[in-house]
Every structure is written in C-alpha cells, then in structure tokens.
Structure 1
Amino acid sequence: MDSLRSDLPQVDHQPIGSVLLGIDSGKSVQAGGEASAEDEYRILKISAVQRGWFKPSEAKKLTEDAAFSPSHVVRDGDLLITRANTPERVGFVAVARNVPEGTFMPDLIWRLRVDEDHVSTAYLEHALSSRELRTRISDKSGGTSKSMVKINKRGFSAVRLPIPPLSEQGEYVRRCDAVVEGVTATRAEAARLRSVRAGLLSGLLNRTIEIEAAELGV
C-alpha cells in the first residue's frame, strides 16, 4: 500500500490550500465512556482517523448538552484530518464512511472541504497518506510537548502536492483502491474468525457447547 500511494503523479506541485474550499474545526466538549449503538449522540475520538482508514466505532458518548452547529456534524464522504496527535500520527487523513447519525467532530479533528472541480476527495485521501506527503505534513507540526504536536491551518494549507488532471487522479485512485479492497476483505475475514473463536471459547467455558468424549480402540 505504501509503495502505491508513494507513486504519486509526476506533475507540478501546488499548495493544498489552492484546492480546498475551507477547513472546518470541531468542538471541544465533555464526553463520557465508549459510545454504543444505543447512544443517540457521539463524538469521534482522535483514533477514528487512521492513515487512510476511518473507524466509526472509535467514539465516545456525549454527556452534556452542547451547542453544535451543522459544521460539527460528521457525514459520509467527509475528508477528515487529525490536527493534533503524536509526531508519528499527526495529520492522518481519512474519508468518513458508515458514519452513524448523531456523530460529531471533536476539536482535534478538522474537516477538509474539497474543491471537487480540481481534485477528488479520494485522491487527497491516498495522496496525503503517502510517505512523502506525510513527512511534509509532520514537518509543519509543532508544540511544547514531544508526545503531542499540532498543525495549524496556515501551515497545513501551504503543504505542496501534485495535482494532476482529474483523469490521472482517477487512475491513481483506482490502483490504490484495488489494494485497499483486498486489505479490507482480509481484515473483515480476520474479524469474523476472531468472533467465531471468541464464541467457541465462551461456549466451552459456560458449557453451552459440549465436546463428546470418544473412546479410542487400539
């Protein structure tokens, strides 16, 4: 995956700010424990945005009333970026997928509003997850703590990246997506096997699953 994402189109580089309509900030609120499917409202944890992967289950339930605006609501197709994290994880980018209703964006995550006339959201997700651009984003971070650094909108907007014609962007995305689909299928199968294993172990421990003893004859 890294090698494919790093095989960026060979065209002139432009500041990312030139292909964004804006950057939306999240909101800092008091959150409770892990969110469940029964919770009406939730707020994403910073771990929801991985390097080119989105994990909607990484969220906390809201425990206070807060004045949210439409700009704080996370929807499918949003391009999200972590604005603060460890030096190795700051600036992670992912497209939000399978977002439960009532999901909000925290202050440590931004939404990038993409000018789709010039660049596709899918292209930015893969390109900004490449090693070269990850390094450029990380170089824009700063802070007094080594364990938590931040990027600001001005510095991030100045990061330069190749912006080829939309047709070339599409070819790049198709190559990357083909690998992502394989990885996603592998992860889903691994999760299914873990679930089956956990069910078997639980059944054996509580004796809802019996293993009949067999006598072996010599």
Structure 2
Amino acid sequence: MTELPKGWATSPLGELLSIQSGFAFKSTEYRPSGHFLIRIGNVQDGRVSRDKPQFVELDARTKAFELAAGDILTSLTGNIGRVARIQNKHLPAALNQRVARLKPTKALQFDGYLYAFLTSPSFRTELALHGKGGAQQNVSPATIGELKIPLPPLPEQRRIVRKLVTLTARTTTARTHLSAIEKLVERYKAGVLDQVFSTAENRVALGSLLTGIKAGKNLRCDERPPLPHERGTVKVSAVSWGRFQPDQSKTLPPTFEPDPSSLIRPGDLLFSRANTVELVGAVVIVDVAPKNLFLSDKVLRLDTSDHLKPWILWYLRSGEGRRQLEEVSSGNQMSMRNIGQASLKAVTIPLPDTEERRNALNLIETGFAKIDRLAAEAEKALKLTDRLDQRILAKAFAGKLVPQDPNDEPAETLLARIRAERAVALKPKQGRKKRPPHDLV
C-alpha cells in the first residue's frame, strides 16, 4: 500500500465491522412467501436482484439471520466480493450461508466511505488474491476481516464521499447516454432495411432463388469445440448474433463420418431453423471457417448464387422478413420454435432488377458502416468511463481526491474509540452475587 497522508491510518476491516455468514437453509424449507432469502445470485454489483426469488419462514433457530434495511452484503463463493445494500423494498429478508452481512460498528459513525471501499475494484482485487478453490472461488468471513483499508479522518471521509457522489453521477449520466446508442444503432439499421425493402417490387418465393437446402445430422456430441484433429458441428448460437462464430460448436463422435457436402465453407449462407421466437431464422454469411466444422440438423445452408446471398441475408433480417419468418415458425412454446424447409421456401422476397439490388445493397453497406463506426466509438468511450471511475476511486483511497485539513481529528483517534467500544462489548457482564442462604450466615 502506498504511503498515506498525515492523519490517515490503516485498519483491518474486522476492526470496523462485524462479519456474519448466513444460515444453510435447505430447499425443502422454501415457501411460497415469507422472508426473501438472499442467496449468492441475488447479490449483484451495487444492487440486490429479485431474480428467481425464494422465500423462507424464520423461527427461533434462524431469527439471528434476519436482515435489516442498510445491511451491507457480500458474496462468499463464486464471483466473490460482489457488494450490495439491503433496502426497505427487499424486506422482510433472510441471509443464506454463501452470503455475508457486514455490519459497521456504531463508533465508526459514518459508513459511506467504508461502503465506497467495499464496492471498489480495490476490495475485489484484494479479495480475489485470498480466494480459495479452483473453478469456484470461496472466501471466509475471517479472511475478509483481515483485509486492510486505508482510513482517513472522519471529516475527510465525508468530504471524499460527497466528491465521489458528484463525480460518479457525471460518469453514470455519460454511461447512460452511451449505452442508449446501442438501441439507436439497431433502430437506425432497421430503418435503413425498411427503406430498402418497402420500395422493392416483383416478389418471388424464396424457394425459387435456391438451388438446394443442406442440413446436418442430429447426434449426441461432446459439448465443447472440436480440437484441430477432431470434427465438430455448429450450435444455433453460431449464427444467432449477426456474425458466424465457429467457437459456438461441439465435437462429433470420433466414429461418425459426416457427409463431406455438409462441411461449412467461407461464403456459405447459413440459417437457423430452430430457436426462440426472437432468434429463429437468424442468418449469416460465413466469413472465416475452420476446416473441421459441419452443419447440424438445426443450422441449414441455403444454396444460391453468390450475388443473391447478400440480398437474401438482409431481407431475412429486415422487419418484414422477420415478421414472415415468425409467422411460418411452428411450435407450442415461445422458448423453442421451428421453421420447416417447405415453409421457408414459401417465404416471399422482393426481387428488383440487378442494378436496383446493387444500389440498395450499397446503401445498406454504406449506412451500416457509418453507424458501426459510431457504435465502436461509443463502446470505446464506455470502457473509458469505467477506467475513469476506477482512477477516481484509486485517488480517493490514496488521499488524493480532496484536500486534507490539519484540524481534522486523526484516524488513529477514531480507531482508538472503536477499539474501546469493542472491548466494552466483549467484556463479560458481571452478574449480581448470590447471597448465601440464611442458615449459612
């Protein structure tokens, strides 16, 4: 730790707060209502999530694990060190064993600076160094208590937090505006596609433009991408997100000999015939492909002339194309829909003359290139705001964010009061001595 300003001190977290892990409630104890059980998945960075809530009823055995508004929580396993506060809207709530409650001592008087430290990368980084385990890290309350925190005088703590609130409010606003660009990008692209295809005429059935549709086999595979000497097949996720992703694949059985014509090659127009209602019918043109990936039963290759592939791709991605694909998809559940080959061939597609198609594709590619550059700049700026927040916090905990006041009471004096309070709390209470029976006096 760097040298601290005059009046600052370092302290183990265990001196400033008590750390209590929760109770190991069993799934058989879950109830339809009652106390919201705060499990590890509910503790996110800076907030408590109500995703997939479970409820329990407390009794004399578990009453000590009831939470109150303002309690600070941190995750003890998995993605360790996520920190959030309980709010009134989460109550009544109870604590699970993989989450710890961090309760600042009353003598600290102000926990805003402590909370800022706990939610900073400094705490997460230090905690990760002490995590135990392999794939799933875990940390004990005792380990958290041993971690050191740079502690400024109490008045400076308040000045630091006020400054942090002001500065992070600005970066939060910037982050909100930059994040909105992603939706604007999608809206702009949809507008360009609608403009192109709403004016195109001479509709034909998609099947009339295809020379064939090729599918792979449905096999039980090893759920990992194939090694270079192995053969693999693609998952639907390989074509779901706008670009071909060969790492979204699984390994074929070594005894299976795939049809050579189902090998995926650069330039292939691939189509997902099965997925959720939002993603079924996703389509990509392969740019780069390894030489050991084959089609699956859910990812089809649409064979057609190379000059028609971009036109078909963009139409099937347009609002009108998506509406047709969703209409011809079948299935009783929204979570999985299917498009049969006959239904796919029946989808109608506008087909203007070659020159008009060329101009339209140029409009799409030019417009998308501009908006993609804007999106890339926004993404870069988002990363810079994250980095800026980290630098601000680093300055705060090094005593470089606000000026020091030599009249402030030193942090060591505050720590002395905290230690005195703890000593009193730990001192056993003296009970009243029993008087001897009258016959012994």
Q: TM-score, normalised by structure 1?
A: 0.78
How does 1:99-178 map onto structure 2 within 5 Å? 99-116=289-306, 120-178=308-366
Q: How does 1:197-212 map to 2 (within 5 A)?
A: none
Q: What residue number does 1:202 align with? A: none
CA distance in 1, matches of 2:256, 2:368: 37
| TM-score normalised by L of structure 2 | 0.41
Structure 2: stretches of 5+ with no match in the other structure: 1-188, 387-397, 405-441
Aligned equivalents of 1:16, 1:186: Cα separation in 2? 32
Shift of 1:115: 3.7
Pair 1:57-2:250 in alignment:
no
Aligned partners of 2:289, 2:222: CA distance in 1, in Å?
Answer: 19
Of 11-20 and 58-67, more deviation after overlay is shown by: 58-67
CA contact (8 A) 1:56 1:97 kept: no
- Cα distance per residue 1:156-208 (max 9 Å; x no partner): 111111011122212222222234445289559959x98xx9xxxxxxxxxxx
Is the contact between residue 228 and residue 292 of structure 2 (CA under 8 Å) also seen in structure 1?
no
CA–CA distance in 1 between the matches of 2:373 and 2:261?
29
Determine which structure has the larger helix proportion and give its number: 2
Q: 5 Å matches for 1:187-202?
A: none
Q: Would you say the 8 A contact 1:52–1:129 is kept in 2?
A: no
Contact residue 27 and residue 72 of structure 1 kept, 8 A: no
Question: Looking at CA atoms only, which structure, 1 or 2, has the larger radius of gyration?
Answer: 2
C-alpha distance in 2, partners of 1:46/1:90? Answer: 9
Cα distance change of structure 1 residues 63 and 70 upon mapping to structure 2, 3 Å threshold: closer
Query: What is the letter of the counterpart of residue 261 of structure 2?
Result: S
State the AA in 2 paired with 1:140.
V
CA gap of 1:157–1:39, structure 2 versus 1, over 3 A, is same
User: What is the alpha-carbon distance in structure 2 between the residues aligned to residue 34 and residue 179 of structure 1?
Assistant: 37
Counterpart selection for 1:82 from 254, 267, 272: 272
Q: Determine if the alignment matches structure 1 residue 10 to structure 2 residue 200.
A: yes
Instruction: For CA contacts below 8 A with separation 6 or more, give which structure has more relative contact order.
Output: 1
RMSD between aligned alpha carbons?
A: 3.1
Change (3 A) 1:52 1:129: farther
Please say which of residues 143-152 and 14-23 is displaced more in the overlay: 143-152
SS in 2 for 1:143: coil
Q: Given the superposition, is the C-alpha separation of residues 143 and 64 from structure 1 closer, same or farther in structure 2, using an over 3 Å criterion?
A: farther
Which of the two has greater strand per residue? 1
- Closer, same or farther: CA 66–184 of 1 in aligned 2, 3 Å: farther
CA drift at 1:104: 0.9
Match of 1:42 among 215, 232, 245: 232
> Given that residues 221 and 252 in structure 2 are in contact (C-alpha distance below 8 angstroms), is that contact kept between their aligned partners in structure 1?
yes
2:153 is matched with: none
Identity value in percent: 27
Q: Corresponding residue for 2:211? A: 21
- Paired residues of 1:30 and 1:64 also in contact (CA < 8 A): no
How far is the alpha carbon of 1:61 from its aligned partner? 2.6
1:34 aligned counterpart, secondary structure: coil
Relative distance call for 1:69 and 1:147 in structure 2 (3 A) is same
Partner of 2:261: 71
SS of 2:332's partner is strand
Q: Is the 8 A contact 1:39 1:61 kept in 2?
A: no
Contact 2:193 2:364 (8 Å CA) reproduced:
yes
User: CA separation of 1:215/1:11 partners in 2, compared to 1, >3 Å: closer, same or farther?
Assistant: closer
CA 1:34 to 1:84, structure 2 compared with 1: closer, same or farther past 3 Å?
same
> Is the Cα–Cα contact under 8 Å of residues 56 and 100 in structure 1 kept in the other structure?
yes
- 2:169 equivalent in structure 1: none
